[in-house]
A = this chain, B = another copy of it.
Amino acid sequence: MKKMKREKLEAAGWAVGSVKEFLGLSEADTVLIEMKLALSRSLRDRRKKYGLSQVQLAERLHSSQSRVAKMEAGDPSVSMDLLVSSLLLLGASSADLADAIRGREKKTGPRAA
């Protein structure tokens, strides 16, 4: 397993605080978390691309601003189903999701910071 991911995961609020807990994370757990983080980033990018605030997106999703914030923050309480269906409602295609999951952030134009 690749090391030095701990801080990144901790930053997103995942329970990987202690070294022991970190070592307890299986490869599968790690990959799953990374996939969700990739989808989170993708959601934020897409929201900004359409110039929506979190509140506006929440309305579209029939959800709340706090949940949108958690989605984008990669909060552990957010499921992959929610991330994916939100992305789909923002017009993402299966191919877009596949790209995100694969770890290939699509660099769309000058915005791609």
Interface residues of A (CB under 8 A from B): 26-29, 31-32, 34-35, 79-81, 84-85, 88-89, 93-95, 97-99, 101-103
Contacts and interface: CB of A to CB of B under 8 A. Distances in A.
A88 to B, nearest CB: 4
Contacts of A97: 35, 101
Contacts of A89: 26, 28
Contacts of A101: 94, 97-98, 101
Contacts of A28: 85, 88-89
Contacts of A32: 81, 84-85, 88
Contact of A31 (B26, B34, B88, B103): B88
